[in-house]
A and B are shown apart, each in its own frame.
Chain A
C-alpha cells in the first residue's frame, strides 16, 4: 500500500514557483519580476516553499549538511522579507544607511569664551592707582581732603556700579550658556570644531583632549596631550577626567570621516555634566594629513 503510494508520488514535481524559490534563492528577486506575482504572493511562496522544503529534507538520502543548507535557504528568505517589511512599516524603524550625527559649529569667540570673560571681570588697575593718590592727598590739607573724600566717594560708587554691571553681564552670559548647554544635553547635540580651530586650541595649549579610538589605534599615533578613552570604557576612566571643573573645555576626536565614536563619547560627557564639550570632526585623519604633530605611545 505504502509502496503504491510512493510510486504514485514519484513523478510529483513542485510547482514552478516553489522550485524557483527553493533552488535559486539568489535569483529569486530577479525571477520575481518575470512573474505577475504581487509582494504578498511572493511571501506566500516563500512560506509555502519552507513547508515543502522541510518535507523534502526529511526524506532525502543526502548528507545532513546538504539537507541543512537547503532548509537554511528557506528559513533565511522569509526572515529577510520580514526584516524589510518590519523596518518599512514599523514605527520604530531605523534608516537603512546610518549616517554621522550632525553637530553645531562653534565660533572662535565661544571657544575661547573663558579667557574673554576672565578679562572682562578683572577690574581696571587705574582705579586702584587713583584711590591710592587721593588717599595720599588727604594728608596734605582739609580742603583737599574733603575734595579727595568726595572724589573717593564718587569713584567708589562708580567702581561699585561698574562691578555690578560686570556681574550682571557675567550672570547673563552664564545663564545663557547654561541654557544652551541644557538644550544640548536634552537634544544630545554637541558642538563641532574644524581642523583650524583644533590647531588654534592645540597651539594655545587649551582644552582637555580625548582620543576616542580603540587603544591600538591610539598607540599607533595620536595628538600630543590627548588621553585615550574608548566610549564603552568611560566608566573605567572617570578618574582621568577633569571632574573638579565641569566647565573645562573638552575636545574629543576619533578617526574622522564616518567615525561616530567621538560623538558617542561627547554625548556621554555632556550627560555627565560637562558643559563645554566639542568634537573635532576632522579627527586623526585630517590632523595627520595636514602634517600636524603626532606622537606614538
Chain B
C-alpha cells in the first residue's frame, strides 16, 4: 500500500521513466524553438495593432463585433506567453497544448473563410497598416498543420536540451 502511494505520488521524481534519446531531445529542442519563435513573433507583431487584429478577426465573420477586441487581446497575450515559455523551455507540455489548441482554431477559421469564398488577411503575424497581410489559403493551412504536428510532438516529448524544465528537474533530483 505504501509502495503504491509512493508510486502514484504527484511529487515523486521521474527516476524510473525512460529518458528520451539525444536525437529525440534535439528534435524536441528544434520543435520547441520553432513553435516558440513563431508564436512570439506572431503575438508581438500584433501587440501594437490590437485594433487592426480585432478587425482581422471580425473579417472572418465568426464572432460578433462586440467580442472581437477581447478575443484579439487574449490571442495576442496567450501567443506571447506560449512563445516565451517554449523558448525558455518552461511548462513545455502546457504551452504546447495551448499552441496546438490555438493552431487548431486558426486552421478551422482559415478553412471556414475559404469555404465562404473570403479572400481576407489571415491576421496571423500582425498587419498594423492593414496592407500586405498574408491571405487565407492552403499554404496557411499547411503551415499551421506543420506547427500543430510540432506541438503534438512536444506534448509527448517535452524533454530537450537548454530548457528551464530540465534545470528545475535536475535541481529537484539533486
Binding site for B on A (CB under 8 A): 2, 6-7, 9-10, 12, 50-51, 53-61, 64-65, 67-76, 78-80, 82-84, 86-87, 92, 94-100, 214-216, 230-233, 236, 258-260, 264
Are A69 and B97 in touch, CB under 8 angstroms? Answer: yes
- Chain B: how many interface residues by the 8 Å CB criterion? 60
Known contacts A71-B91, A72-B94, A75-B91; A98/B11 CB under 8 A:
no
Question: Which residues from A are CB-within-8-Å of B158?
Answer: 64
Q: Which of A57, A83, A100, A258 has the most CB of B within 10 A?
A: A83
Residues of B within 8 A of A56 (CB): 10-11
How far, in angstroms, from A61 to B5 measured CA to CA in the complex? 12
Query: Contacts of B143 on A, CB cut-off 8 Å?
Result: none
Asked whether B6 is an interface residue with its Cβ less than 8 Å from the other chain, the reply is yes
Asked whether B117 lies within 8 Å of A72 as measured between CB atoms, the reply is no
- Which residue of the partner chain, among B59, B77, B82, B93, contacts A232 with CB atoms under 8 Å? B59
CB distance from B45 to the nearest CB of A (A): 14
B11 contacts which chain A residues (CB < 8 A)?
9-10, 12, 55-56, 59
Q: Is B81 an interface residue (CB 8 A)?
A: yes
Structural contact, A55 and B7, CB atoms closer than 8 A: no
Complex interface: chain B residues within 8 A of A70 (CB): 94
Tell me, in angstroms, the Cα distance from A243 to B100 when the chains sit together: 46
Are B81 and A72 interface neighbours, CB within 8 A? no
- Complex CA distance for A59 and B165, rounded to whole angstroms: 11
In the complex, the answer to whether A95 meets B12 with C-beta atoms within 8 Å is no
Distance of B132 from chain A, by nearest CB (Å):
11
Q: Are A98 and B98 in contact (CB under 8 A)?
A: no
Given A10-B6, A58-B168, A64-B93, decide whether A232 and B69 contact each other with a Cβ distance below 8 A.
no
Q: Which residues of B contact A69 (CB under 8 A)?
A: 94, 97
A-B contact pairs, 13 of them (CB 8 A): A2-B13, A57-B91, A59-B14, A61-B14, A65-B97, A71-B91, A71-B93, A79-B74, A79-B77, A82-B81, A98-B58, A214-B61, A216-B116
B21 within 8 Å of A (CB atoms): no
- A214-B117, A260-B65 known; A6-B91 Cβ under 8 A: no
B59 to chain A: which residues have CB within 8 Å? 231-232
B10 CB contacts on chain A under 8 angstroms: 56, 59-60
Task: Select the residue from B96, B97, B118, B119 with max chain A CB neighbours within 10 A.
Answer: B97
Tell whether B55 is near chain A: CB-to-CB under 8 Å. yes
Given the interface pairs A59-B14, A258-B66, the reply to whether A10 lies near B9 with Cβ below 8 Å is yes
Which residue in chain B gives the minimum CB-CB distance to A58? B169
Does B54 lie at the interface of the complex (its beta carbon under 8 Å from any beta carbon of A)?
A: yes
